[in-house]
Amino acid sequence: MNVRFELPDELSASAPPEARGLARDEVRLLVASPSGVHHTVFASVGEHLRPGDLLVVNTSGTLPAAVDAVRGGRPVVVHFSTSLDDGAWVVELRAPGGPLRDGRPGERLELPRGASLTLLAPAAPGDTRLWRAEVAVEGPVPGFLAAAGRPIRYGYVPRAWPLADYQTVFAREPGSAEMPSAARPFTTELVTRLVTDGVLFAPLLLHTGVSSPEAGEPPQPERFRVPAPTAALVAWVRARGGRVIAVGTTAARALESAASADGVVRPAEGWTNLVLGPDHPARVADGIITGLHAPDASHLLLLQAVTGAEVVQRAYDAAVEERYLWHEFGDVSLLLRR
């Protein structure tokens, strides 16, 4: 079953909630489970959690991954998506209308501060949206991005916002091309309150690449790490009947990438190609805190893998009807399998 809905343009959040006079944890929260749908604000998420539940959070920080470039004398934007083990980067070339797909192996682009970028080959055979590229820059590329880049944003966000608006309270290790935005509504005060009430937290890492703009396009390989203490805490919680809830699709992908066929999570790190969906259901996550995703996005299949299609369809029908706001600065849902 595919989740179907129409997203009106006016439901795309065009600015951080702070610009609308709200605190981070005052965005709306839609809670959906087999028993029904409930509407509240994110600051009240604890009312829908139990002592002993475990929230698994992504500690990846957001890079200023959008950089102006010159291509054949014309301005373009380069999105730095993923750093590879051999020092190359996966990049996307963009114009105001969307991704540019006419790249050529060996093509050189000029970057700010005397740097340059040379396209090597498509990142995946037959797909010319993302390219492996060699970056000629003085010093590490993240340092160059800090000096010359800005956060990636799309057409529904008409003006620039500082990098701090694209970081979550859990961010510790920069590496994501785009914000792991499901965790954005958490504040230090809310985390403290949840911990005091007996809700547990465990960290893992997944550096997310650029979003997939094409309908149904699967996620790209991404670097992840699930540390031993997190794996042990997941086992402890599950053995005692607590729920394991991923904060974001990135956390869900990393967590499930470390799970064996029988649902045992072990320490793991490296690259994940895992694509969760109805034919590969989640083995560990009992729920997910997530933003609202565009129609036909591959993230919707991941949500179905966690809670089933009926819960996801019910949630999205309610979100459209109640006029929730979409995307990284929008409202949030808590989807529960049980």
- For domain 9-62+161-336, the CATH superfamily is QueA-like (3.40.1780.10)
Structure token pair of residue 321: 């009807």
Residue 216 has pLDDT above 70, yes or no: no
Structure tokens, 196 = 């005091």
Look at strands 60-62 and 173-176 and give their pairing.
parallel
Which segments of 233-336 are extended strands (E)?
A: 244-247, 268-272, 287-291, 332-336
pLDDT of 266 > 80? The answer is yes
Name the residue among 285, 292, 219 with its Cα closest to residue 246.
285
Instruction: Give how far Cα 147 sits from Cα of 66, 95, 111, 166, 258, Å.
Output: 11, 22, 12, 17, 35
The two three-digit tokens of residue 304, written as one number: 């179905």
pLDDT computed for residue 198 by the predictor: 98
C-alpha neighbours within 13 Å on the C-beta side of residue 128: 6
- Which token pair is 53? 């539940």
| % of the chain residues with pLDDT over 70 | 98
What's the mean pLDDT in 222-240? 98
What tens digit of pLDDT does each residue of 102-113 get? 999 999 999 999
The full set of domain ranges for the chain reads 9-62+161-336, 66-150
Instruction: Give the three-class secondary structure for 315.
Output: helix
* Beta strand extents in the chain (DSSP E only): 28-33, 36-41, 54-58, 60-62, 66-71, 74-83, 89-95, 98-99, 108-110, 116-124, 127-136, 173-176, 200-207, 222-226, 244-247, 268-272, 287-291, 332-336
Is residue 43 helix, strand or coil?
Answer: helix
Is the pTM above the cut of 0.85? yes
